[in-house]
């Protein structure tokens, strides 16, 4: 019993003293079991957050997974991971059309092996663009952006709890406007097209917008708020907003109120990159951020941006929960105490299925195939001058070995890139044939391929033939 919190023991003892010995010992057994469960669940950040229906995550670098001290803390304390750099555009598509998932895959495997959620970070961000994308503009860049979203979200389909679909797209300062960037210059609708494209690629992932300096009610966070409100009103698929919370030696007094106003729009909120400059009040601030999340029922989790101070991007500021040697800091204890003391509100933990299909791609109206053969349905994300199409190919009651989907493209439309299929042409009526790895589809099973192009995207139901 000596590991129990002090306040439990005397109370339990004094009550037992009033009971007959047999009843007392029976109740004592129950008490020990109940107390031990509570105590062990509340001794790590992840377990304690899970008791409150939340996750507690850390940003992780793949190359540090061979550092035993680092991995020891990660596996003991955390139940969610965000790849710190490995899923960014420069890492995943260093050359246009050539995708590299080594670091991201390593982190996802580690997470899966340890029952941790993965926050995907990030599909589109003006920073850390590969050089080739920095040199693109207008419709070539728009196509490249949406192809990137489709490819990466498809690669990680089913493995991501939440994606930061778009990161840091709003300007600092008092305007509440979008940040200027080459992405923004492709047209103001780039963010909603990105969300629709991500939804089409991985319908099971929560789709988040993520930013910094949006942690209190201010012009920038209000700009984001207005965008989220507009998206919800128009059925653009957004599920969550990430508040990075890179804090100095203070925090906005309306931190919780800000989280709550977003939650009231009908999205989850998450603290996504928490780190707090070390000062006399670091522990207090960490505790207060944790309490704020627990007080907002739709605040589904907290992620700290690194594990030990020496892992932080904020060199010299010692902003994390563990010191350079991996020891718990007072800030750690403050977070754990806040989690253990926190409210009991349990946010929904399951990912809601998409409620609003993108207007440009109505849900497939074709019923599942009754006989053999195959069927195909399109989902198209369009913008002025270009589009990305995902094609869902479904086998009938018999397995399929080889398939071809025939799609009639509008006049003037040109296919500029195809993935997971071979295109027999670039315009007019085009036959898309399986590639080796997706030739075989089990009875009733399905596979996806996609293409992008200039001009107007296809519509209607394509034909699918077997063989």
Question: Among all residues, which ones are annotated catalytic?
Answer: 168, 273
Query: Considering beta carbons, is residue 70 or 212 the nearer one to ligand 9MR?
Result: 212
Residue with CB nearest ligand 9MR?
Answer: 313
Measuring CA to CA, which residue among 310, 312, 300, 241 is closest to residue 274? 312
Q: How far is the CB of 307 from ligand 9MR (least distance, A)?
A: 12
**SS3 assignment, position 170:** strand
Q: How far is the CB of 416 from ligand 9MR (least distance, A)?
A: 29
For β-strands 299-304 and 55-60, DSSP reports them as parallel
Query: Considering beta carbons, is residue 248 or 362 the nearer one to ligand 9MR?
Result: 248
Measuring CA to CA, which residue among 254, 229, 253 is closest to residue 241? 229
Spatial neighbors of 344 by CB under 8 A, at least 6 apart, are 52
Query: Considering beta carbons, is residue 127 or 401 the nearer one to ligand 9MR?
Result: 127
Query: Considering beta carbons, is residue 87 or 400 the nearer one to ligand 9MR?
Result: 87
- How far CA 9 is from CA of 337, 416, 452, in Å, comes to 18, 70, 66
Q: How far is the CB of 32 from ligand 9MR (least distance, A)?
A: 44
Q: How far is it, in rounded angstroms, from Cα 357 to Cα 193?
A: 12
Q: How far is it, in rounded angstroms, from Cα 363 to Cα 359?
A: 9
Query: Considering beta carbons, is residue 85 or 333 the nearer one to ligand 9MR?
Result: 85
- How far CA 344 is from CA of 297, 301, 364, in Å, comes to 9, 14, 41
Q: How far is the CB of 119 from ligand 9MR (least distance, A)?
A: 11
Dmax over CA atoms of the chain, in Å, equals 90
Spatial neighbors of 20 by CB under 8 A, at least 6 apart, are none
Query: Considering beta carbons, is residue 125 or 225 the nearer one to ligand 9MR?
Result: 125
Query: Considering beta carbons, is residue 91 or 336 the nearer one to ligand 9MR?
Result: 91
Measuring CA to CA, which residue among 104, 128, 100 is closest to residue 118? 104
Query: Considering beta carbons, is residue 202 or 211 the nearer one to ligand 9MR?
Result: 211
DSSP code at position 215: S
Contacts to ligand 9MR by CB under 6 A:
84-85, 127-128, 167, 212, 244, 273, 313
- Per the document, the length of the chain is 467
Q: How far is it, in rounded angstroms, from Cα 346 to Cα 364?
A: 35
DSSP code at position 409: P
- How far CA 359 is from CA of 173, 197, 364, 376, in Å, comes to 34, 12, 12, 19
**SS3 assignment, position 102:** helix
Q: How far is the CB of 317 from ligand 9MR (least distance, A)?
A: 12
Phi-psi region of 322 (alpha: psi -120 to 50; beta: other; left: phi over 0): beta
Q: How far is the CB of 149 from ligand 9MR (least distance, A)?
A: 17
Q: How far is the CB of 87 from ligand 9MR (least distance, A)?
A: 10
Spatial neighbors of 135 by CB under 8 A, at least 6 apart, are none
Q: How far is the CB of 170 from ligand 9MR (least distance, A)?
A: 13
Q: How far is it, in rounded angstroms, from Cα 433 to Cα 424?
A: 8
């Amino acid at each position: 019993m000596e590991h129990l919190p002090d306040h439990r023991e005397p109370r339990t003892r004094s009550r037992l003293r009033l009971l007959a010995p047999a009843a007392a010992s029976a109740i004592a057994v129950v008490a020990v079991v109940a107390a031990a469960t509570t105590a062990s669940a509340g001794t790590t950040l992840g377990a304690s957050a899970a008791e409150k229906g939340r996750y507690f995550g850390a940003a992780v670098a793949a190359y540090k997974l061979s550092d035993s001290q680092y991995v020891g803390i990660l596996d003991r304390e955390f139940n969610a991971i965000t790849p710190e750099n490995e899923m960014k555009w420069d890492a995943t598509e260093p050359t246009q059309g050539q995708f590299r998932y080594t670091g991201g895959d390593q982190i996802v495997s580690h997470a899966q092996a340890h029952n941790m959620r993965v926050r995907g970070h990030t599909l589109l961000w003006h920073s850390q663009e590969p050089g080739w994308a920095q040199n693109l503009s207008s419709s070539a860049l728009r196509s490249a952006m949406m192809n990137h979203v489709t490819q990466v979200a498809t690669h990680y389909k089913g493995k991501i709890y939440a994606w930061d679909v778009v990161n840091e797209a709003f300007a600092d300062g008092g305007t509440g406007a979008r940040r200027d960037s080459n992405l923004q210059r492709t047209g103001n609708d780039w963010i909603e097209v990105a969300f629709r494209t991500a939804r089409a690629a991985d319908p099971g992932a929560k789709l988040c917008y993520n930013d910094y300096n949006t942690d209190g009610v201010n012009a920038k966070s209000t700009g984001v708020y207005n965008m989220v409100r507009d998206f919800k009103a128009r059925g653009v698929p957004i599920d969550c907003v990430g508040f990075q919370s890179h804090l100095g030696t203070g925090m906005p007094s309306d931190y919780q109120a800000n989280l709550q106003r977003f939650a009231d729009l009908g999205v989850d909120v998450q603290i996504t990159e928490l780190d707090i400059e070390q000062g006399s009040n670091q522990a207090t601030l960490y505790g207060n951020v944790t309490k704020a999340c627990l007080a907002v029922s739709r605040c589904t989790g907290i992620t700290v941006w690194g594990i030990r101070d020496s892992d932080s991007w904020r060199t010299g500021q010692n902003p994390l929960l563990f010191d350079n040697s991996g020891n718990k800091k007072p800030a750690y204890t403050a977070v754990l105490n806040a989690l253990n003391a926190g409210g009991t509100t349990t946010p929904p933990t399951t990912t809601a299925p998409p409620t609003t299909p993108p207007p440009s791609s109505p849900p497939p109206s074709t019923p599942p195939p009754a006989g053999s053969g195959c069927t195909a349905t399109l989902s198209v994300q369009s913008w002025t001058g270009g589009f990305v199409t995902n094609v869902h190919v479904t086998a009938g009651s018999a397995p399929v070995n080889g398939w071809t989907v025939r799609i009639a493209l509008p006049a003037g439309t040109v296919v500029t890139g195809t993935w997971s299929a071979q295109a027999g042409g670039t315009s007019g009526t085009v036959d898309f044939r399986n590639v080796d790895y997706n030739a075989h589809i089990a009875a009733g099973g399905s596979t996806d391929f996609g293409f992008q192009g200039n001009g107007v995207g296809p519509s209607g139901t394509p034909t699918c033939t077997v063989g």
